[in-house]
Structure 1
Amino acid sequence: MMKWLLVALMLYTAAFVMLQAGYSGPVQTVVWKLGHVTLGGYAGYWLDRAAFRDRIRWDTPPLVMIRRAIIMAAAMYTLGTGL
């Protein structure tokens, strides 16, 4: 999951560089929002891990995987919409 945190930081850095270069168009906004969504996925994963203390392996029941996907999607949606 560290890869996704680094991707979020790279997206935020790219948006900040665009802002410093004087460009504040729709591409900068999309990059900024992609950073939010990526960070939401990272946060949702760790929220699930902290709340339920389990890892997903090859023999994990499907409902556990669905639970984690719902929690991650909720965090991604919340940060993506700016709530």
Structure 2
Amino acid sequence: SQSKLANVLFTSSLAKRLQGTAVTAYSLHPGIVQTDLWRHLDAPQAAIMKMISPFTKTSVQGAQTTIYCAVAPELETESLLYA
């Protein structure tokens, strides 16, 4: 989608500006996460989500990608990654 592309392009620009500092920049997608937003779906959308729900993540599982990018020692010198 356009918003994901914009996020990746922004992160790329930010990472270049921060080069040489101790700050890194990442763009990530946690996957499909089960949230209360699903309660607002109409019937056809809810049926689709019910079919794919075995392949979705809990909020705790969805947060793991963000946490990993924030604290993983092996990423301290990396930047411009899409996770």
Structure 1 and Structure 2 fold alike (TM over 0.5): no
Could you state the TM-score of these two structures normalised by the residue count of structure 1? 0.42
Larger radius of gyration: 2
Q: Which has the higher contact order (CA 8 A, sep 6+)?
A: 2
Greater strand share, structure number: 2
